[in-house]
Structure 1
Amino acid sequence: MQKLFYILSVSIILSINAEPDLDLSLPELGDRVSGVVSNDQEKIIGNEFLKQVYSQAPLISDPLIQEYSELLVYRLSEYSQVKDRNFNVLLIDDNSLNAFAAPGGVIGINGGLFLNAQNEGQFASVITHELAHLSQRHFARNILNSQDNNIASILVMVSAVAAAVATNNPTAFMAGPAFLQQQSLRYSRLFEREADRVGFNNLINAEYDPSSMGEMFEQMAKLRRLAGDKIPEFLLTHPISSSRVTDAFNAADQVETPFNTKNSLNYEFIRGRLQIRYEDIPLNSVRKMKGLLEKDPYSNENRYALSLAYKISGQHKEALKIINSLIIENPKNLILVNTKAEILLDEGKSEDALEVVNIFLNISPKNYPLSVLKAKILAYDKKLFAAEELIRDQLLRRNNDPYLWLYLSEVQRDSKNVIGYHQSRAEYYLLLGQYEDALNQLQFALKLTESNFQVSESIMTKINSTRKSIKGLRGQ
């Protein structure tokens, strides 16, 4: 699938022959770029893109995977040239290898990227490449080079691209303007090379092994060989040649650095978590993970994955045995603690699960995955109002998280908080850009608040704002 402009496939075209002291600043274009598409307009475009993807794409709603991805993106951004670091990290529930960047600080990651990147260094090489697209403002520069810089045409393009990303349909983008396709073909190689150079240098600055990017290319080349006649679309449009792999390693050899970080424990656990998620036959995962552990008995990734395999097959005792052994080795690891509590809850031992979570929430107050899990434990014990308060507290920091709004509405429904249920559903639909559905929910809520002026006034304000958005979409 061609991800238009710099919404690009993770199959990066590498051409790293640059010296370590490469100038990574944006080319001197004066005010021409911002004159065509300002930073504020990129934010608007990015928000529209988010709504389209939220409403169409299957997303991974796993707080552990989400937090890991966000923390890594933010950490890598510290070594990038991105000025506005208010990112929205999307996790696409698709086991194919892909990642993309979109205007306004949107970073998209397929679940399959974790499966194909063998270590965190390889994974990070992809993310630094995508961050380079943002820092170099490739979207705005591509518009500058096009013949159509009308904002309406751009938004049509964004919708088409979002549809392609959401549906994994390589023809979906054809709905966009013709200039879009022409410009993406004409300029993508130039911008890819620039993103390669910038991303490579930032990878080094983040203290990862310089060979990580070359290793990622080897993984892509291997995938191409194994694909046979069914070559993935991103490898068709961005082929990985042996010379490109060689160039990547040659560039790494030229870097004199003491840093050789390739992996992290948390990456191994998250990768193991996704291995189980994408197992074709979940009940066969125990046998599969046992086989992998026989080959590498010290693999933290496979040990963790086997624990999850035992959990989904109902073998909680075996699952806890492995998790406890991992916790003994890594007593402060929040992923392991969170997973132990998940297993206990799945077994019906909610009190034990709550005790585990509370101990570590005292150490890491307001931690996102632990807080959501605690809310689930409380909901399991029918302590619904306490669960609602925990989710609301998380929404103070994650107000644009549709998963949290949806979960809050479910808790409110179970607690018979009908007004809150409709309000939360409305917020969920607003994030998806489904304004009519949001308006319906708000009107339901308003009918129930006739005797509460303060609440009804707040709902009316939201209704008026939603109606304004609907009129804007209709061009009124």
Structure 2
Amino acid sequence: MKKLFVLILFALSFSGKGYSETELPALGDSTSGLISLQQEQELGSLWLRQLRANQATIDDPLLITWFTDSIYQLVPFSELAVTDLQLVVVDSPQLNAFAVPGGIIGINYGLFLYTADEDELASVLSHELVHLSQRHFARQVEAAQRRNPIALATLLASIILIATDNPDAGFAGLVSSQAAAIQSQLAYSRDFEREADRLGMNILVQSGMDAHAMPEMFSSMMEANRYSSSALEFLMTHPLTPSRVSDAGNRAEQYPIRPRTRSFEFLALKLGAERRYQLKDNSAAEFRQRLENARGVDRDALLYQLADIALVQREPQKGMNYLQQVSAEYRQHPAMDALQAKLLAADNQVADATSLLRQKLLIHPQDLSLRETLSRILIDTNRPAEAIPLLKDLTAD
């Protein structure tokens, strides 16, 4: 019943047609009385539990570390009242990102497939941060209440019944209030989207990234939607119109073009998304072909993925050969060290693997890749007592 409760409440909050600017309550008015920040936190926690129970998520340390670092590069410029965010990556090839009341930011791993660089992906994240900082959830509930308070009261009463001890009566009330006819469960109004675009670009620029990445990302979304339905998940909840694309382009022209960011982490994760959702069993052959012409950090990212594929295929020596070709700049990267340790353990060199990890943890004591890899190796070799402190730290993080 909790699942239905959360889905209906969020549907109530974000469904319906767009409102005019005059219908959107400004921050600081009765919105804060209708839904408090604490209530948003409670709703967000319920929603996140339901998501994790019903949708596969990805907790890869390199991905979570990159996501965390990327978000907190933007947060100082976001005007968020609460900056303790919860981040989630959904295991889906579809193009999507979302912000949920209570400080939850999520992306589909498939988002990497549609972004050429970190600036484009950051434009999506900055947009989502605005939905939280400007409390679009509470403001849209407020607008819905002012538009039709009787229907809202009926729906809320139905939700309470469903969540407690009379689900049949609650569902009957739901149908009578037409809440079952939900077509855009998390759809933001166009006014909120324009506000998120405008303030999101400010966040992007202040964090040192290229403003032009936002209209380019919009164009990529529209192009993807033209040829594939995979973009629909995002566009259904974030209505993208030609005027929004045009406005973003005009706004970006006010700023100089800045160099784009394509880090090792981003490139390795982008290749990982290709491998997971598109190339699959053909990944190794495709990456080896690309390796012939790759240079710099692109080559290192390919080598990392090829080494990981060799690990999965139980060819640790081949994997270590790939890692030996990584440039000096990234050979000591914690993710490379963690992968090397996995390869050593797979090659029955467990002592060398744990020694390497403990040595690297002295340099990078908080690194998730190193800590998770060491805990897994210790558990796999029947040394759970040594793994418990690491697991406690990982859980706390």
TM-score over 0.5 for the pair = yes
Q: Secondary structure at the residue paired with 1:178?
A: coil
C-alpha separation in 2, matches of 1:187 and 1:235: 10
Q: Please say if residues 45 and 155 of structure 1, whose CA atoms lie closer than 8 Å, have aligned partners that are also in contact.
A: no
Q: Which amino acid is 1:198 matched to? A: L
Q: Which amino acid is 2:45 matched to? A: N
Change beyond 3 A, Cα 1:132–1:269: same
C-alpha separation in 2, matches of 1:75 and 1:175: 46
> Could you say which residue in structure 1 is the equivalent of 2:156?
153
Tell me which moved more, 383-392 or 242-251.
Answer: 242-251
Q: Which amino acid is 1:264 matched to? A: S
C-alpha separation in 2, matches of 1:315 and 1:151: 62
Unaligned runs of 5+ in 2: 1-9, 19-23, 164-174
Shift of 1:238: 5.6
1:62-461 superposed matches below 5 A: 62-147=60-145, 153=156, 156=159, 178=179, 181=182, 188-227=189-228, 232-235=232-235, 244-256=244-256, 259-279=258-278, 281-282=280-281, 284-298=282-296, 299=298, 300-326=300-326, 328-395=328-395, 397-398=396-397
Q: Which amino acid is 2:136 matched to? A: H
> How does the TM-score come out when normalised to structure 2?
0.80
Q: Please say if residues 101 and 108 of structure 1, whose CA atoms lie closer than 8 Å, have aligned partners that are also in contact.
A: yes
Q: Which amino acid is 1:111 matched to? A: Y
Q: Please say if residues 156 and 176 of structure 1, whose CA atoms lie closer than 8 Å, have aligned partners that are also in contact.
A: no
Shift of 1:331: 4.2
Shift of 1:348: 3.3
Change beyond 3 A, Cα 1:363–1:66: same
Q: Secondary structure at the residue paired with 1:248?
A: helix
Q: Please say if residues 6 and 188 of structure 1, whose CA atoms lie closer than 8 Å, have aligned partners that are also in contact.
A: no
C-alpha separation in 1, matches of 2:359 and 2:176: 53
Q: Please say if residues 112 and 273 of structure 2, whose CA atoms lie closer than 8 Å, have aligned partners that are also in contact.
A: yes
- CA deviation digits over 1:113-142, x for unaligned, max 9? 122212111111110000000000000001
Change beyond 3 A, Cα 1:239–1:48: closer
Q: Which amino acid is 2:210 matched to? A: D
Q: Which amino acid is 1:47 matched to? A: S
Q: Please say if residues 212 and 262 of structure 1, whose CA atoms lie closer than 8 Å, have aligned partners that are also in contact.
A: no
- CA deviation digits over 1:68-89, x for unaligned, max 9? 2122212211121112011111
Q: Please say if residues 78 and 133 of structure 2, whose CA atoms lie closer than 8 Å, have aligned partners that are also in contact.
A: yes
Change beyond 3 A, Cα 1:186–1:288: closer
Shift of 1:343: 2.6
> Could you say which residue in structure 2 is the equivalent of 1:44?
42
- CA deviation digits over 1:189-218, x for unaligned, max 9? 111111111111101111111111122123
> Could you say which residue in structure 1 is the equivalent of 2:21?
none
Shift of 1:253: 1.9
Change beyond 3 A, Cα 1:145–1:186: farther
Q: Please say if residues 187 and 239 of structure 2, whose CA atoms lie closer than 8 Å, have aligned partners that are also in contact.
A: no
CA RMSD of superposed structures (Å): 3.5
Q: Secondary structure at the residue paired with 1:278?
A: helix
Q: Please say if residues 338 and 370 of structure 2, whose CA atoms lie closer than 8 Å, have aligned partners that are also in contact.
A: yes
> How does the TM-score come out when normalised to structure 1?
0.67
Unaligned runs of 5+ in 1: 14-25, 161-173, 399-476
- CA deviation digits over 1:243-277, x for unaligned, max 9? 654543332221147x4343222211222233333
C-alpha separation in 2, matches of 1:34 and 1:371: 41
Change beyond 3 A, Cα 1:261–1:27: farther
Q: Secondary structure at the residue paired with 1:376?
A: helix
Shift of 1:100: 0.4
- CA deviation digits over 1:172-191, x for unaligned, max 9? xx999629949979961111
C-alpha separation in 2, matches of 1:5 and 1:301: 44
Instruction: State the identity %.
Output: 32
Q: Please say if residues 122 and 204 of structure 2, whose CA atoms lie closer than 8 Å, have aligned partners that are also in contact.
A: yes
Q: Please say if residues 323 and 331 of structure 2, whose CA atoms lie closer than 8 Å, have aligned partners that are also in contact.
A: no
Q: Which amino acid is 1:345 matched to? A: A
Q: Secondary structure at the residue paired with 1:118?
A: coil
Change beyond 3 A, Cα 1:180–1:389: farther
- CA deviation digits over 1:341-387, x for unaligned, max 9? 23323333322221221121001213322111111111122111111
Q: Secondary structure at the residue paired with 1:101?
A: strand
C-alpha separation in 1, matches of 2:187 and 2:317: 58
C-alpha separation in 2, matches of 1:292 and 1:107: 33
Report how many aligned residue pairs link the two structures: 363
Q: Which amino acid is 1:153 matched to? A: L
C-alpha separation in 2, matches of 1:72 and 1:180: 37
Change beyond 3 A, Cα 1:184–1:91: closer
Q: Which amino acid is 2:328 matched to? A: I
Q: Secondary structure at the residue paired with 2:325?
A: helix
Change beyond 3 A, Cα 1:7–1:131: farther
Q: Secondary structure at the residue paired with 2:273?
A: helix
C-alpha separation in 2, matches of 1:186 and 1:304: 38
The reply on whether 1:30 has 2:28 as its aligned counterpart is yes
> Could you say which residue in structure 1 is the equivalent of 2:167?
none
